[in-house]
Structure 1
Amino acid sequence: MRTNLLIILLLTTGILSNAQTISGEQKVGHKVSITFDGPKTSELDPVNPFLDYRLDVTFTNGDVQFVIPGFYAADGNAGETSADAGNKWKVRFTPNKIGEWSYTASFVKGKNIAVADDISKAEKVSFDGTKGSFNVDQTDKSGRDLRAKGRLLPTDTHYLQFEGNKEYFIKGGVNSPEDLLGYHEFDQTSKKHKFENHIQDWKEGDVTWKDGKGKALIGAMNYMASTGINTVYFLTMNVQGDGNNVWPWTESFERYRFNVSKLDQWEKVFTHMDQVGLVKHVITQETENENLLDIGYTGIQRKLYYRELVARFAHHPGIIWNMGEENGITNWSPVGQTAKMRNTMITYMKNLDPYGNPVVIHTLPSLKDHENTVTPLLGNKSLDGISFQVHHLEDTYKVTKKWRKASAKEGKKWVIWLDEIGPASHGVLPDDYPAQQDTVRKDVIWANLMAGGAGIEHYFGYKFPHNDLNCEDWRSRDRIWHMTYVATSFFQEYLPFTEMKAKNNLVDSKDSYVFAKEGDTYCVYLKEGGNPVLDLSDQEGKYSVRWYNPRTGGDLIKAKVKVITGGQKVALGSSPTFDDDWVALVRKL
């Protein structure tokens, strides 16, 4: 009798029904997780825990408020146990402000309630109404660690910016293999990718799961970070696509039930990527399956898929939502989403994500495809950028400049990335082909940046080793990583790039690009070196002249001409060598 009375008392006071735990470092930019004890269920329960329950937690600190979607977490530790059942429900939150954060949980039940527009009449269940609070301190991280930088957010420029340290972002990324998450040590994942050559890059103390799994993939992320690369591109779903080996669901044919343990293991990898400074470029679908969910519309399947991605992963300080690889309709891919479908899903995703993480989309390769698919997106306030693919490398500059200008004209300044080059059989070749990589450096990396683009990613062509679907060793392109970092680090260290524009008319040299903040900073890129003459006729004062090696990087170089005076067209002197590309940096003294 005493035992029964104790249970009744505990239930009435809420100690059992409202049980909750807070975990994680309670610091700005760090993940804080709250786990609630709720109804015991499973991935395959007749009452779908993903669709027929809905957890939202409101976090408040002064005048700052976030409403964060939560998710079903099985036993709360499924990444280690592979559990598919349990009574744990979780929310992950990344605070952006020090001080006390209070929270209130909303937990309701009803048919399709997870994706409902109106939940006011839903049944309140279990721990609904649970409240709590916790204190948040400033981060103690530094360097590449994204927790030190804060959330990566859109701005009113053509660049993203980290919310914490205010650093603007220039992307230098890896685009292959697109099925990165087809790693054999994730639960219920094919044995395709093993990345064994990168086990050597795993470090003592790095994350693993299930008694040591994950070392090769974690090691690969360590290697990429060590090269200066700052972004990794991957699909979260490629059902019916090229790889057909990545999906978040319990089965490839399932659309409403999710594999909790696999997603928890993905989270471990993404968290490590935060720590080593890798932004996660999340591709939510590809051209072969853009009509897989709701026949291309934004219905229950698509809404639930996006909600689960946001609930489980949107808290990361560096995450980019890409709404589809090679999105659109073309002669070789005739089944695709229409402009209306595309705009609708973009707007839905932007409104769903409580943090305002960037939303972009990837294009088909031809200039005609760009006109057909990108033009209807102009002016969409929910779209933060375009992830371009071009068939011809030499189109990079004009594509970047054209769509940067077009987006600004329509009132929404897009981030313009060049994320894949053709032909598809080649892309960026391995280091055994340095001449092709040199062309990529000139006509893609520097071309995008000098036209006002925000960076690039490198795709690996399918006819060469370690390609887009079978890459096992990123050292195959070590040289291109270095040259990419040489370019992006130059922009970060020496240029006020958010205030600069393409101004090729200011230099008379053939095969050159000029990026300028007139009267202050001029960057002149010469594909084959030369003796550039810079037009400073409308400017006053003195300017320093230094040279930079875009092949190897290093310190700025002084040449014969060290200082020039405005008010005229001025010779900058000869580049340190000819028949090589060089950068002349001119800055006001």
Structure 2
Amino acid sequence: MKRAWTALLCLMSVWAFGKAEISGELKTWHKVTLTFQGPETSEQAQLNPFMNYRLNVTFRHPATGKIYVVPGYFAADGNAAETSAVKGDKWRVHFSPDRTGTWEYEVDFRKGNYAAISSKKDTGKPGEFMDGETGSFDIAETDKTGRDFRSKGRLDYVGGHYLQFAGSGEYFLKMGPDAPENFLSYAEFDGTQNADGHKDNLVKTWEAHSGDWKNGDPVWQGGKGKGIIGALNYLESEGLNSVSFLTMNIGGDDQNAFPYVDYDTLDRFDCSKLDQWEIVFEHAQRHGLFLHFKLMEHENQGLLDGGAVGARTKLYYREIIARFGHHLALNWNVCEESGEWGHLRTPPAETPERLACAERLYLQDPYQHHRVIHNGKWFDDILGPESKYTGPSLQTNQKDFRNVHGNVLKLRNQSAEHGKPWAVACDEPGDASFSLLPDANDSDGVNHYNARKNALWGTLLAGGWGVEWYFGYKVPHSDLTCTDWRSRDGFWDYCRYALAFFNENKIPFWEMENSNALIGNPKNDVNAGFCFSRPEVYVIYVPKAGKAELDLSGVSGDFNVRWFNPRRGGALQHGSVAAVKGGGKADLGNPPSEAEEDWVILVR
């Protein structure tokens, strides 16, 4: 009798609080997951569960009126990362609440041909099960600190040249590897790619980073995942804060990273593989690593719909957003190397398609993450307020990185002139053949010096919000073959030092502009140094030791002069001049040591 009464109470509880199983920490910026028992189906069911069902959940915050309409997805048995399930009756939605207090939800579940990609509210017919269900839950303040993005909130494009965390109000500078692009070509993910004759030699184990995995870190299926999780841990240990990857490279250089059940079925998704991706992405976010989703690449930009934004592209965007859009710090990159250049394997994306891709992401993403596109074709045709792009993902083509600074500055200025300032990142500096060399291949230090001068400081002092580093295909640990990020261990130090300079010295970079003319460099010659400033704060990069001069004729007052070593980091140092006065050209003196090359000067 007691057991029967307990069972009845449980049923009453489910009835009273709704049928959704609500999991996750109920705090701001954390992933809150609603899991529903819906129709029993499978990845290969005749009625396609990805295309022909649409699960949307509307979340309302009554106290403020804030509303999010969040897409959901078919989740197989609800534990597919562990079970490799291809069928089940679990349907799921992830939500990252941005406010404390009570949130209400209402479920809209529809069924019908192409229901998933329809914007019509009453498309098809009711899907029954959880359709119409309502409920609520209460959200407390986050308790996270440090690098964990849940301590900072969602990283938003706010109409300017830098992205800002909605919770903490901090602005963000990113730094990390752009390579290997096939980061997700990982042998311990489920799927058909590991031994199927499609460039199997490029599938990675990330074994070199297995030792970086730590007790308590996630794994799946009895210990899988240590290599790729350890690789992320290594990036964190180096002070880097971003990671980049293709989510679809069928027909591309690698051909092993894709979300589908196989190479040819482009409207059905591998539930267990994508759940395993989520384990990796969640770990990255908790450890302060921005996620650069590259949704397509040059070789397959027309694979899904012949270059158009048709049913398959819409479905692909929806599935990626539903599964991963709740993460806080990310951007959607429509296509790496967009446009017509080189050998076309699929139809190219022209201006209407480029604009339509960003428009579709804008319509489907409830969180409005940063939307970018890579060049191949330049960006003139997608600038302006009507475009839904919020920035470029810039690629350059010079071995010594000399055109990075000018291109970043050009895009920053060009976008502002067109009425919508873009947040500009240089995500593939250098050339295709070499770019950032492994430490072992840079015995004379010239490559790393040029990368540090022209790409790292060249981007930051042009007003770019970050750099991701490409590895050339003619060197070991290339853009496709890299399995050990320690191959550039020495160079990562320079990236960490640069981020520390801005953060620890509280440089208000989001309020600053490039001002090379103030150091006598009106033509932006990379060999003459860079200047980045607002009134009363000046950051100057000098590529060679020696005297520096700054034009302070437009300001008054006393200014401290301190020097920063971009090769060794550390605290600010005194040079031969401790302070200068405004009102004219000021001699900043000599650096602490003339024996070394480049320096950064902070005048404030």
Report the TM-score, using the length of structure 1 for normalisation.
0.94
Task: Give distance in 2, aligned partners of 1:342 and 1:121.
Answer: 27
SS of the equivalent of 1:487 reads helix
How far has the Cα of 1:577 moved from its partner?
Answer: 2.9
What is the rounded CA distance, in whole Å, between the counterparts of 1:522 and 1:19 in structure 2?
A: 58
1:406–1:447 Cα change, 3 Å? same
CA distance in structure 2 between the aligned counterparts of 1:512 and 1:422, rounded to whole angstroms: 19
Query: Equivalent residues in 2 for 1:85-100 (5 A)?
Result: 85-100=87-102
Counterpart Cα distance in 2 of 1:533 and 1:507: 6
Q: Decide which of 80, 96, 106 is 1:104's aligned counterpart.
A: 106
Q: Distance in 1 between matches of 2:78 and 2:40?
A: 12
Contact 2:471 2:479 in 1 (8 A): yes
The structural deviation recorded for 1:382 is 1.2
Of the structure 1 ranges 419-428 and 566-575, higher mean CA displacement relative to structure 2 is found in 419-428
Matches within 5 A, 1:296-445: 296-333=307-344, 335-364=347-376, 369-370=377-378, 374-379=379-384, 380-392=386-398, 393-432=401-440, 433=442, 434-445=445-456
Q: Which residue of 1 aligns with 2:593?
A: 577
Give the one of 125, 137, 141 matched to 2:144.
141
Match for 1:539 among 548, 555, 559?
555
Q: Which residue of 2 aligns with 1:258?
A: 269
1:302-336 per-residue CA deviation (whole Å, 9 max, x = no partner) reads 00000000000000011210001001112544841
Letter paired with 2:349: Q
1:482 aligns to what SS in structure 2?
helix
Q: 2:575 aligns with which of 537, 559, 581?
A: 559
Root mean square deviation, CA, Å: 1.9
Is the Cα–Cα contact under 8 Å of residues 576 and 592 in structure 2 kept in the other structure?
no
Please state how far the C-alpha of 1:539 moved relative to its aligned partner.
Answer: 0.8
- 1:252 Cα deviation from its structure 2 partner: 1.1
Kept after mapping to 1: 8 A contact 2:177/2:243? yes
Structure 2 partner of 1:82: 84
Q: Distance in 2 between matches of 1:116 and 1:496?
A: 44
CA contact 2:42–2:49 (8 Å) conserved in 1: yes
Contact 2:574 2:592 in 1 (8 A): no
Q: How many angstroms does 1:476 deviate by?
A: 0.5
Amino acid corresponding to residue 410 of structure 2 in structure 1: K
- Residue 149 of structure 1: CA displacement? 1.1
Q: Determine the C-alpha separation between the residues in 1 that align with 2:75 and 2:394.
A: 36
After superposition, where does 1:113-124 map in structure 2 within 5 Å? 113-124=115-126
Maintained 8 Å contact 1:57/1:106 = yes
- Kindly indicate whether the alpha-carbon contact (under 8 Å) linking 1:101 and 1:133 is maintained by their aligned counterparts in 2: yes
| Structure 2 equivalent of residue 272 of structure 1 | 283
Identical columns (%): 44
> Which whole-Å CA distance do the structure 2 matches of 1:547 and 1:318 have between them?
32
Judge which range, 208-217 or 114-123, deviates more.
114-123
Per-residue deviation, residues 521-542 of structure 1 (Å, max 9, x unmatched): 0111100122111111121111
Aligned partners of 1:17 and 1:37 also within 8 Å: no
**Deviates most, 179-188 or 484-493:** 484-493
Give 1:435 deviation, angstroms: 2.1
Q: Which moved more, 1:549-558 or 1:507-516?
A: 507-516
AA aligned opposite 2:517: N
Matching residue within 501, 506, 523 for 2:513: 501
Tell me the equivalent position of 2:26: 26
Mapped contact 1:17–1:38 kept (Cα < 8 A):
no
Larger CA deviation: 394-403 vs 503-512: 503-512
- 2:332 and 2:514 map into 1 onto residues whose CA distance is 28
CA change 1:189–1:150 in 2 (3 A) is: farther
Once the two structures are superposed, what CA deviation does each residue of 1:194-250 show, in whole Å capped at 9, x if it has no partner?
011111100000000011110110000000111011110100000000000011011
Contact 2:112 2:123 in 1 (8 A): no
Q: Is the 8 A contact 1:18 1:37 kept in 2?
A: no
1:99 and 1:140 map into 2 onto residues whose CA distance is: 15
Q: What does the per-residue CA deviation read over 1:139-195, in whole Å, with 9 as the maximum and x for residues that have no partner?
A: 111110111111111012201111111111111011111111110000015341001
Return the alpha-carbon distance in structure 2 between the equivalents of residues 491 and 384 of structure 1. 23
Q: For residue 415 of structure 1, give the secondary structure of its aligned residue in structure 2.
A: coil
Corresponding position of 1:3: none
Paired residues in the alignment total 571
Report the CA distance shift for 1:205/1:395 in structure 2 as closer, same or farther (over 3 A).
same
Structure 1 partner of 2:464: 453
Instruction: For residue 67 of structure 1, report the CA deviation from its aligned partner.
Output: 0.5
Stretches of structure 1 that go unaligned for 5 or more consecutive residues are: 1-6
Q: Helix, strand or coil for the counterpart of 1:411?
A: coil
Q: Secondary structure at the residue paired with 2:176?
A: strand
Q: Distance in 1 between matches of 2:244 and 2:415?
A: 24
Q: Determine if the alignment matches structure 1 residue 197 to structure 2 residue 205.
A: no
Helix, strand or coil at the partner of 2:208: helix
Q: Which range moved further: 292-301 or 334-343?
A: 334-343
Structure 1 segments (4+ residues) deviating >6 Å? 10-14
2:306 aligned counterpart, secondary structure: helix
Shift of 1:489: 2.3
SS in 1 for 2:593: coil
1:56 is aligned to 2:67: no
User: 1:49, 1:72 within 8 Å by CA — same for their partners in 2?
Assistant: yes
Kindly indicate whether the alpha-carbon contact (under 8 Å) linking 1:52 and 1:114 is maintained by their aligned counterparts in 2: yes
Q: Secondary structure at the match of 1:524?
A: strand
Task: Find the residue that maps to 1:294 and give its secondary structure.
Answer: coil
Deviation at residue 276 of structure 1 after TM alignment: 0.7
1: distance between equivalents of 2:409 and 2:17?
Answer: 58
Write out aligned runs for 1:106-255 (5 A). Answer: 106-124=108-126, 125-191=128-194, 192-255=203-266
Q: Are 1:42 and 2:42 an aligned pair?
A: yes
User: How much has 1:492 moved relative to structure 2?
Assistant: 2.7
Q: Which runs of 5+ in 2 are unaligned?
A: 1-6, 195-202, 522-526
Distance 1:136 1:246, change over 3 A: same
Name the SS for the 1:164 alignment partner.
coil
Q: Is the Cα contact below 8 Å between 1:521 and 1:585 reproduced in 2?
A: yes
Deviation at 1:508, TM superposition (A): 3.1
Q: Tell me the equivalent position of 2:497.
A: 486
Correspondence for 2:304? 293
Q: Given that residues 244 and 294 in structure 2 are in contact (C-alpha distance below 8 angstroms), is that contact kept between their aligned partners in structure 1?
A: yes
